[in-house]
Structure 1
Amino acid sequence: MSFAPTSAQLKALAAEGYNRVPLTRAISGDYDTPLSVYRKLADAPNSYLFESVMGGERWGRYSIIGLAARTVLRVYGHKIEVRRDNELIETTEADDPLAWVESFKGRFRVFEPEGMPRFHGGLVGYFGFETIRYIEPRLAASPPKPDPLGTPDILLMVSEQVVVVDNLSSQLL
């Protein structure tokens, strides 16, 4: 289950408007668990491990490991920060931060090769409790609750390097 397009194929995909093309190589994962792969490759800030269980009893087919993201979006109220390699590269104020996130997401057009897991990276993170203020007009007028931790309302990482553990075939993609 590898996908390694030639230079000509990459140029053709770019001409079609794709600016993200997953490059994949399958290797044996017989001696690793998703957690051991995470600890070896991604145990750093702005990384993650997604496991799935179906019906509370059966493991899902894929586990997703996101290596440390270089670009991170943070939303505090209506203020948006974009950091790359921990350097502030963009700040803006948005009346509707959710619309801004949707617009940011539109910067990426991802090619999806057949036979591959559907997740190749992208925006990964959370939308916190206070995000409801962007959706429900009645709540937008009331002051936000105090946040002594300074936690962002929204935190999204641009996940560009991903390891997919195929729990069925014991392969790492």
Structure 2
Amino acid sequence: MYYPDKKEYLYKSANYNLIPVYKKYIVDTETPTTIFLKASGPDKEMFLLESIEGAKRLSRYSFIGVNNEKTVRYKTGVFSLEENGKIIIKNKSEHPLLELEKVIGQYRIYKDPELNHFTGGAVGYLGYDLVKYFDSIVLPESSLDIPEMILFLTDTIIVFDHLLNTVKIIAAVKINEDIGPEKAYDISIEKIKDLEEKIFNNNDNKENKIYSNITNVNGPLSSLSATGINNIKELNLSSNFEKDVFLDSVERAKKYIIDGDVFQLVLSQRFESLNQKRPFDIYRALRILNPSPYMYYFNFRDFQIIGSSPEPLIKITGRKILTCPIAGTRRRGVSQREEKRLVNDLLN
């Protein structure tokens, strides 16, 4: 059963040009990673936002982005918009978010009350280096040579419900001059059927078989077992910091804090290793080593991003914006005396 049905969809299309269509499945024998592998290809740009650990209300859903209608990229002052691998917009701009707003502003999205979670949209990253476009901060030249911003505009997404052991496949094709409401609905149904076939009916998925044969399930389990690496020394890691330079930076950071120039400063090192391990295997190792409510794997065209976090920076629900960092916070006290104690605890 597809929701909404075609009649209801056509009725809603009078006011909206992006309407999610979905179908629900029971998946008590699947996991987000197995579904990701079945839906993916070796060069397919996709993402996995996975919740592994935490209360069900916090870690209820995992999201798999499958088809990207468009991709936004911003690099060294050039904003580009790709559609099906072809660049349709490319211009110089010092206002990347304004350019992004022009693209997203074209969508009139229907909010289905039955879908009280993320249903697709712009997914990716806004790099720290973007700060130079919003504030007068001079940054050193980056040696990574990657875009400062990449966002997938995803039109097909798989939602894994950890509480109910169900999956929704959601497709939302934009209605425009070339694709009318009826055609948009039919295309959405075909996208759902295509994924249904890959996930539930295709037992000859080569990509899934490759991954399933990597780990010796009868061997000792370690955080590196999924990658086939037996010892951390095999990675031959190198840092972009010499040890004495890093320690000196720590002392300077302490002084900046004491002087009141900053209240928080993060000193990061970039560790590099040349290896032939598959990026998704490294993600699998991370989910063993550091399971969390907020894990992510992005397969971009030329590189991958893998990460894990115990908390969100910002959460938006409807018209409400919530931020609740774990570090540097305490609950409110029930009395002035307790408030003072908690304040002193934070200061020390």
Following the alignment from structure 1 to structure 2, what is the Cα–Cα distance between the partners of residues 57 and 20?
33
Asked whether the 8 Å contact 1:3–1:113 carries over to 2, the reply is no
Name the SS of the counterpart of 1:130 in structure 2.
Answer: helix
Tell me how far 1:32 sits from its aligned partner: 0.2
Following the alignment from structure 1 to structure 2, what is the Cα–Cα distance between the partners of residues 126 and 105?
15
Name the SS of the counterpart of 2:13 in structure 1.
Answer: helix
Name the SS of the counterpart of 1:15 in structure 2.
Answer: coil
What does residue 22 of structure 1 align with? 20
Tell me how far 1:90 sits from its aligned partner: 1.2
Q: Pick from 126, 146, 169 the counterpart of residue 141 of structure 2.
A: 146
Asked whether the 8 Å contact 1:3–1:22 carries over to 2, the reply is no
Moved more, 65-74 or 18-27: 65-74
Q: Pick from 40, 43, 47 the counterpart of residue 42 of structure 1.
A: 40
Tell me how far 1:157 sits from its aligned partner: 0.5
Following the alignment from structure 1 to structure 2, what is the Cα–Cα distance between the partners of residues 93 and 13?
37
Corresponding letter in the other structure for 1:76:
K
Asked whether the 8 Å contact 2:67–2:157 carries over to 1, the reply is no
Tell me how far 1:82 sits from its aligned partner: 1.1
Q: CA 1:8/1:57 → structure 2, altered by over 3 Å: closer, same or farther?
A: closer
Structure 1 residues not aligned, in runs of 5+: none
2:158 is equivalent to residue 163 of structure 1:
yes
Name the SS of the counterpart of 2:98 in structure 1.
Answer: helix
Corresponding letter in the other structure for 2:47:
Y
1:15-52 CA distances to partner (integer Å, 9 max, x unpaired)?
11x11111111111111001101010135532111113
Tell me how far 1:3 sits from its aligned partner: 5.5
Following the alignment from structure 2 to structure 1, what is the Cα–Cα distance between the partners of residues 134 and 44?
30
Following the alignment from structure 2 to structure 1, what is the Cα–Cα distance between the partners of residues 101 and 119?
18
Corresponding letter in the other structure for 1:84:
E
Q: How does 1:74-153 map to 2 (within 5 A)?
A: 74-136=73-135, 138-139=136-137, 142=138, 145-153=140-148
Task: Name the structure with the higher helix share.
Answer: 2
TM-score (norm 1): 0.86
Asked whether the 8 Å contact 2:4–2:22 carries over to 1, the reply is no
Corresponding letter in the other structure for 1:41:
A
With CA pairs under 8 Å and 6+ residues apart, which has the higher RCO, 1 or 2? 1
2:60 is equivalent to residue 61 of structure 1:
yes
What does residue 237 of structure 2 align with? none
Asked whether the 8 Å contact 1:42–1:68 carries over to 2, the reply is no
Task: Name the structure with the higher strand share.
Answer: 1
TM-score (norm 2): 0.44
- 4+ residue runs of structure 1 moved beyond 4 angstroms? none
Tell me how far 1:129 sits from its aligned partner: 1.5
Aligned residues: 165
Corresponding letter in the other structure for 2:61:
Y
Q: Identity percentage over the alignment?
A: 23
Corresponding letter in the other structure for 1:26:
K
